[in-house]
Structure 1
Amino acid sequence: MQLTKKDVLEQANKACKNTLMETLEIEIVDFGDDFLVARMPVNSRVHQPDGVLHGGATAALAESVGSFASHIFIDTEKYFVRGIEISANHLKSVTEGFVYAKAMFLHKGRTTQLLDIKITDDAGNLISICKLSTISLLKKQ
C-alpha cells in the first residue's frame, strides 16, 4: 500500500512528539521531491520581551525543518543526521500569525548537506533567510 501525502505528514508530525518541535508547536505542512515546509505559530511563547518573534525561535524552526529534510532523504537504517552550522539573517519582524519555513537543498552529498531555508509570514513576506549545514553520520552497528 502506497502512503498518501496526508499519511506521510501525519507520520512526520507524530515523530515530533515530546521534542522541541512540539514545544514550539512546529508542524510539517508540505513536502516535495526537493523541499520541506513547516510552520510555527507566532505568539507570546516565541516572543522577545518587546512582543516580536524571537530570532532564536526562528533559528530553531529553520534547524528543525532543515534537519528533518536531510533526515527524510537519507537511509535512516544506517545513518543519523546532525546540524553542524546554522546562520540566520532576520529581515522583518512578526508579532502574530504563523511563520513558514521552506527548506531546499543547495547541496545533497553523501556526508554533508547544505540547505537554504526561507522564513515567510502569512502574507508571504520574507522574514528571515537561513543556511543550515547537516552531516550524515554512520550509526554504530
Structure 2
Amino acid sequence: MTNEAIDGMKFLETRGVGALADKMGIEFQEFTIDRTVATMPVAGNTQPAMLLHGGAYVVLGESLGSMAANLFAGPNKLAVGIDINATHTASATEGYVTAVCTPIHLGRSLTVHEIVITNEAGKRCSTVRITNLIKDAK
C-alpha cells in the first residue's frame, strides 16, 4: 500500500488542503509518509483571551494526520478520521505554531498519527493523536 515514490508536495497541489486549512493559514513545509510539517499563525485563530484556540490545534493536527494518512493510502483509497484527541499543555499567544506529524501505526485499514505542536520558543503546546480508516474511494 505504501508508495514512497509519490511526491507529497505534488499530492498536496493536486488534492488541495481544504477550505478550512486555507482559512486558518496552515502552510505545509514538508510532506512525506514518514514526516509532515506545517505552520499556522496564531493571529486570526485565537479565543477571546487571545490564546490560540484549542480547536485550532485540533484542526491543525487533523489536517496533517488526515493528509498523511491519505498519502499513505495511495490511489483509489480514501482515509477518513474516526478518532481524534488532543492534550493542551501550554499556550501560544503570538507568531506561529509548528506541527510535526509522525506515524505511530500504518496498517492496511487503519493509520494512527501523532502530531506535536510547538510555539516559536519550541515549547510543546499540544499533542494530537488521530486514527484514520482507509477505505475504497467512491
* TM-score, length of structure 1 as denominator length: 0.85
Distance 1:91 1:122 in 2: 15
1:9 Cα deviation (Å)?
A: 3.1
Counterpart of 1:4 in structure 2 is none
1:86 Cα deviation (Å)?
A: 0.5
Q: Which of residues 98, 121, 124 in structure 1 aligns to 2:122?
A: 124
Counterpart of 1:35 in structure 2 is 35
Identity rate of aligned residues, in percent?
A: 35
1:92-111 equivalences under 5 Å are 92-111=90-109
Counterpart of 2:52 in structure 1 is 53
1:105 Cα deviation (Å)?
A: 0.6
Runs of 4+ in 1 over 4 A off after TM superposition: none
Say whether the 8 Å CA contact 1:87–1:131 is kept in structure 2. yes
C-alpha spacing 1:49/1:127, structure 2 compared with 1 (3 Å): same
Say whether the 8 Å CA contact 1:113–1:135 is kept in structure 2. yes
Larger mean Cα displacement after TM superposition, 26-35 or 80-89 = 26-35
Q: How many residues are aligned here?
A: 132
Distance 1:75 1:8 in 2: 11
Superposed CA deviations along residues 69-94 of structure 1, whole A, max 9, x for unmatched, are 11111222x21111111100000011
Structure 2 unmatched runs, 5+: 1-6
Distance 2:69 2:87 in 1: 21
Secondary structure of 2:73's match?
coil
Secondary structure of 1:30's match?
strand
Distance 1:137 1:46 in 2: 32
1:117 Cα deviation (Å)?
A: 0.8
Counterpart of 1:73 in structure 2 is 72
Say whether the 8 Å CA contact 2:32–2:68 is kept in structure 1. no
Say whether the 8 Å CA contact 1:37–1:102 is kept in structure 2. yes
Distance 2:58 2:10 in 1: 24
Say whether the 8 Å CA contact 2:117–2:126 is kept in structure 1. yes
* TM-score, length of structure 2 as denominator length: 0.87
C-alpha spacing 1:122/1:115, structure 2 compared with 1 (3 Å): same
